[in-house]
Every structure is written in structure tokens, then in C-alpha cells.
Structure 1
Amino acid sequence: MKVFKPNIIYGDTSLKFFNSLLKIFNIKKNFLKIDKFKDNEYNIQFLKNFTNKSLFILQNLSSPIHDNIINLLLIIDFLKKNPVQNLYLIIPYFSYSRQDKNFSENSPISIKLISNILDYFKVKKIITLDSHSNNFECYFNTPLKILKSTSLIVNDVVKNNIFVDIIISPDIGGILRAKNLANYLNLELVIIDKRRPIINQIKIFCLIGNVKLKNCLIVDDIIDTANSIIEVTNFLFFNKIKNVVVYITHPIFSNNSYYKILNSKIDQLIITDSINFCSNFEKIRIITTKYLFIEEIKKNILEENEA
């Protein structure tokens, strides 16, 4: 069966793997022009008519977060009025996904507002990567496909002969992610009971499992200030582990916090390219997620052709 070349545009021109993804599909031009007025208002122009076609919008919601959100909404609004036959959103990093619950009695559930806005446009599907928790899905009426980085981590561990004794979930919320990885690698799961009394600060209550003289692999979705992962690492070394490698999907690295990693006891940090990061550091390595998204795009094209 013939698989047609997908119609793809991208609003976030900064994310490097978007460009390599387009090359794989032999798409040589982005048919979307994005300019700004002097006051930073967006001026968006489409260079091709996508009426009655299925279209994939590639747009990350990493920093500058609010620029990228407004950018995406303007793009969707125009296309839904054309109309486009089926509209797919590919959002590798989904900002506000951490705010899937009330942090206090006086705080909003911020992802609920973002989901309500996107639900209004009734797009065909939203495709993202490694959501912060299972609560994320509950706020969307739009069909969601949450790709998992587990297979990438397994392949990387095997390919690079990384010796691991145990998989560690750095908090209760990450148990499912860590458990899936532990099952793939046929390893024991250890859980750290970590909580946040206030934003960007943690308190470790207990360790569930034995880590003494073990080679540890920590898996998590986000690294922001790096305070949390370093606290967890120090706690593990206090409990006499051998060493630790860390796999993180979304490298936010606020205020150049990766320098903390370089000066920490972490043996190696492996991140994905869901957010741009230029690593010239031996301690930090990047694995690509583009093939996960390529396969998902192909899958949706096939499903449309078979319908």
C-alpha cells in the first residue's frame, strides 16, 4: 500500500530534531512564515493551502513557553477555519504538565486550562512524549498518544554496556515509568519516597528497597533546577551505593542548572532531544526521539489510508 508524504509544518523553528525529521520525509520547506511586530506580537502567514488535507503541526512548548503556546493557538485557529481534514499536534515537551493537581488550596490546576483550550479546537490527535503523570490524560477530551522513551533507554543501556543492578524511581509518582523499565531489563525496582513541601524543594522520607553496593539507574521525566536529582543521588550514596546513571526525558535545565550535574556524584546523565541542549560535556549525553515520532506519523497516515 502506498504511504503518502505527510503534510508537515512547524512553529517552533528552534528544535533541532524537527529539521532532521523533515529531511527523513524529504520535506525541504516549512510552509509557514512566522514574524514578529516590534512589540513581539506574532504575525503568521501560510505559504501553501492545506484545505481538505491532513496536516501535522510540530510545535514544542518549551521555553519561551508562552510565546510557543500563543504561536500554536494562532496556527490551529487559522487551519481549523480553512478547514483542514485532520489536524495532528506533535508536542514533544508539554509545558504545564507538572501542574496536574492543586499545589495548594489557592492554586489552579494549570494543565486543565491548557487542555480546555486545545479541546475547543477539536483536533484529530495530540502526540506527546513521557507525560509527567497519569493525571495528565484525565484533563483532555482530545485523543492523546503519549509516546514512551522506555525502549530508547533499554536500547541505550544495552548498546553502551551500562552495568545496572537496580532501577530507581525517584518519587512515588514515577513508579509506573520505573517499573516498566525494570520489567524490560528484568531488574529489581527500588522506590524513594520524596515529597515537595514547596516548589523546587524536596524532602526525602524513606527508601523502599536495598541499594547497598548496587549500580543504580534512576529514570525520570523532567530535570529542571537539578536540585531534586542531586538530593536523591546524595541520599543514595549516603546509603552506600556503588554508582548511579540517570536517564531524563525532558532537559529543561533552568538557569544553566546542568553545571550542578557536572559537579555532582552522578556518573552519567543521559537526556533526550525533546528540548534543545548543546552538550559538550562528557558527563551528559543525548539520545534522539525522532524515530518514535516518525513511526507515529507513519502509523496515522496508514490508518487514514485504510479508513
Structure 2
Amino acid sequence: MNALFKPKLIAGNSNKPLAAAIARRISIHRGEPVELVDIRVERFNDQEIFVEVYENVRGEDMFIIQSTSNPANDNLMELMIMCDALRRSSAARITAVMPYFGYARQDRRSKARTPISAKLVANLLTVAGIERVLTMDLHAAQIQGFFDVPVDNLYAAPVFALDIAHHFPDLGAVTVVSPDVGGVARARELAERIDADLAIVDKRRAAPGEIASMTVIGDVRDRVCVIVDDICDTAGTLVKAADLLLGHGAREVHAYITHGVLSGPAIERVTGSQLKSLVVTDSIEPSAATRAAPNIRVVPIAPLFGQAILNISNGTSVSSLFNSGTLGPIYEAFYPAAA
């Protein structure tokens, strides 16, 4: 299918700056302008969503860039309606580029008579006509199996490894910390990439949302601790983990989080905490308060997603982007020494 060698990008309202940045990155790689497809997404008075695509997309390889972040339901519905519009316009293939996959935390039945919403969302997207999904750091890896279409799950760890190597000259003093037992695999992967020690914060909950006790497994005395996790929502656990690590003798505490949901009191908690820095990606569009926070920094993922879209469109490997060495040249403008 010759059309698949030139991807066409279309964006919803969830994260337009990221969509524009991805288009710019693909333009640089291709050596020719790649613009977002002209589209109208609006709401009727009763908040029904209406979509109109102004360009011909017949036979095209379409990539819809849309995170299902807050407001999750509106953004999810936008994504499905855009997909339906493209499918009825005879697009050759439709890929959902979802840097942040909402509802991923509801990936299993935690108690009786509860839903598995992540599976429901997978069914909805597939029925709407999505033929492939490109996302990053799914909350649970098994969500890939909820889909009956290919799912490419990118990882922020290689980008974080480049960032840590750039900002922490003495990697020998760094200890990577998982904020709970469930995130050990993610923390171990990053620790292996930068050849650092690993520690774990063991968290016991008295009730949902209430932490009864936290203990540190591993030696963090006089270490530069880097907490790594996929989602930071209200930042309560993150701030308490930082206090705990410092109480156990850590020299300073930083955090690297893929998806900065940062809802409710999160920004205020982070800025008022002992965290030296919180690094998030722009998988969710950072708010003005997030960008203004003195100890919060945003790492761009447009280079990573731009290259992934090109690889999918050209039929080449996406897993090559799991390697920090492959990403070095792509992120040369941000981390010159890594190229």
C-alpha cells in the first residue's frame, strides 16, 4: 500500500501542542512540511460532539493524536467520532496515537461487582474502527491483550535515562526508587539502563486512598534518590515517599513520572514538598500552573512519537525505540552528549 509511506496526522482537542510538535518532528525527518489535517471538532448546545474533516483522506494512512486525559470521557468520545468520520471517508488505515491511555488503572476487578473499564474502552475503540494503537507506559502491560488489534507500547525509560545522565553527572550516587511493590519492574528497568542501585517503598493501605504505613526496602543513606512511576495524580503518595526517603538519610529526592495527571492539590503539594524536582512528560498537556512550578520540569515526547509514527507508516521496527542508543540522535537537540 504505497499510501502508507506518507502518514497523515489529525488531532483532537486533548493535547494540540503535542500534536503540532509531532508534526514538526516528522517534517524534519521527512525533509518536507507535514501539516495536521484540517478538521472541525465542536459541540452542540447539549454537548454532543460533531466532527468534520476538511481534506480528502481516501486511501490515506491516518494517525489520530488524542490522549484520553481529563476530561477523559469527552476526549475518548472525540477520538471515536473522529475515527468514525475517517472510516466513512475511506481512510486506508486508522491508528490511534494515545500518549496517555485513560481508564488504564481499571485493568482488573479489584472487588466484587466492579467493571474492567480498560477492556471496555479497548472494545469501544476497536468497534469504532481503530486498527492500531500507539501509546506509552500503559499502567498495566496486559492491557495490550485487551485489544484485538496491534498495540505498540512505547517506554519513557530510555528518554528518562538520557535526561538523568544529562542532569546527574555522578550516576554512581543515584538510587532508583519504586514508590510501591507493583512498580518494581519499571524501576528496575530504569536502574539497569543507568547502572544504578534499586530501592523500594513498601506501602500499606488502610483503605482506598488512605496510606497506613510506608517503609523503605534498601539502603538510601547519602544517596540521590530518583523515584520513578507511570502516573502522578494527586501527588500525595509521591510527597510522602520523598519525606520517608529523606528521613532515612537520602541526600536529595527527585521524581520521574511519565504521565503528569496532577489533579486537585497536586501542584501545591509538589511545590511545597521536599522534592528537589519532579520531571513529567507532555503526554498530558501541562497546565500553566505545572509549567510555572519551580520544581517541575517537562520532558518532550514529540521526538519519540514522531519517529514511532514514521516507523509504523514505513513498516519498520518500533521496538528499536526502546534503546537509549537509538534515541540519542533523535534527542540530540535536548541532550547533545547522547548523540
State if a TM-score over 0.5 links the two structures: yes
Q: CA deviation at 1:285?
A: 0.7
> What are the superposed Cα offsets for residues 150-179 of structure 1, whole Å, 9 maximum, x if unpaired?
111111111123544211111122111111
- 2:297 corresponds to which of 280, 285, 291: 285
CA contact (8 A) 2:174 2:225 kept: yes
The equivalent of 2:239 in structure 1 is: 230
The equivalent of 2:92 in structure 1 is: 85
Stretches of structure 1 that go unaligned for 5 or more consecutive residues are none
Does 97-106 or 19-28 show the bigger shift?
A: 19-28
Q: 1:225 to 1:37 in 2, by over 3 A?
A: same
CA contact (8 A) 1:166 1:190 kept: yes
Q: CA deviation at 1:218?
A: 0.5
Does 54-63 or 229-238 show the bigger shift?
A: 229-238
Does residue 1:140 correspond to 2:152, yes or no?
A: no
Q: CA deviation at 1:30?
A: 3.1
- Once the two structures are superposed, the pairs formed by residues 94-105 of structure 1 within 5 Å of their partners are 94-105=101-112
CA RMSD of aligned residues (A): 2.1
> What are the superposed Cα offsets for residues 5-56 of structure 1, whole Å, 9 maximum, x if unpaired?
4211111264312112223322345321111111211111110121222111
Partner AA of 2:13 in structure 1: D
Does residue 1:171 correspond to 2:180, yes or no?
A: yes
* Partner Cα separation in structure 1 for residue 150 and residue 51 of structure 2: 27
CA contact (8 A) 1:201 1:228 kept: no
The equivalent of 1:254 in structure 2 is: 263
> What are the superposed Cα offsets for residues 40-73 of structure 1, whole Å, 9 maximum, x if unpaired?
1111111012122211111111111111111111
CA contact (8 A) 2:100 2:283 kept: yes
CA contact (8 A) 2:83 2:129 kept: no
- 1:160 corresponds to which of 157, 167, 181: 167
- 1:41 corresponds to which of 37, 41, 48: 48
The equivalent of 2:314 in structure 1 is: 302
Partner AA of 1:186 in structure 2: D
* Partner Cα separation in structure 1 for residue 44 and residue 165 of structure 2: 50
Q: 1:3 to 1:160 in 2, by over 3 A?
A: farther
Q: 1:90 to 1:238 in 2, by over 3 A?
A: same
Q: What's the TM-score, normalizing by structure 1?
A: 0.92
The equivalent of 2:332 in structure 1 is: none
Does 147-156 or 204-213 show the bigger shift?
A: 204-213
3-state DSSP of counterpart to 1:75 = helix
The equivalent of 1:243 in structure 2 is: 252
* Partner Cα separation in structure 2 for residue 22 and residue 44 of structure 1: 21
* Partner Cα separation in structure 1 for residue 149 and residue 4 of structure 2: 25
* Partner Cα separation in structure 1 for residue 159 and residue 144 of structure 2: 22
CA contact (8 A) 2:38 2:53 kept: yes
Q: CA deviation at 1:2?
A: 12
The equivalent of 2:18 in structure 1 is: 17
3-state DSSP of counterpart to 1:7 = strand
* Partner Cα separation in structure 1 for residue 15 and residue 126 of structure 2: 26
CA contact (8 A) 2:15 2:66 kept: no
The equivalent of 1:30 in structure 2 is: 37
* Partner Cα separation in structure 1 for residue 124 and residue 195 of structure 2: 41
- Between Structure 1 and Structure 2, which shows a larger proportion of helix residues? 2
Identity %: 28
CA contact (8 A) 2:80 2:128 kept: no
Q: CA deviation at 1:219?
A: 0.4
Stretches of structure 2 that go unaligned for 5 or more consecutive residues are 28-32, 317-339
Partner AA of 1:286 in structure 2: V
* Partner Cα separation in structure 1 for residue 313 and residue 146 of structure 2: 26
The equivalent of 1:68 in structure 2 is: 75
Q: CA deviation at 1:208?
A: 2.2
CA contact (8 A) 2:178 2:227 kept: yes
* Partner Cα separation in structure 2 for residue 230 and residue 162 of structure 1: 25
Aligned length: 304
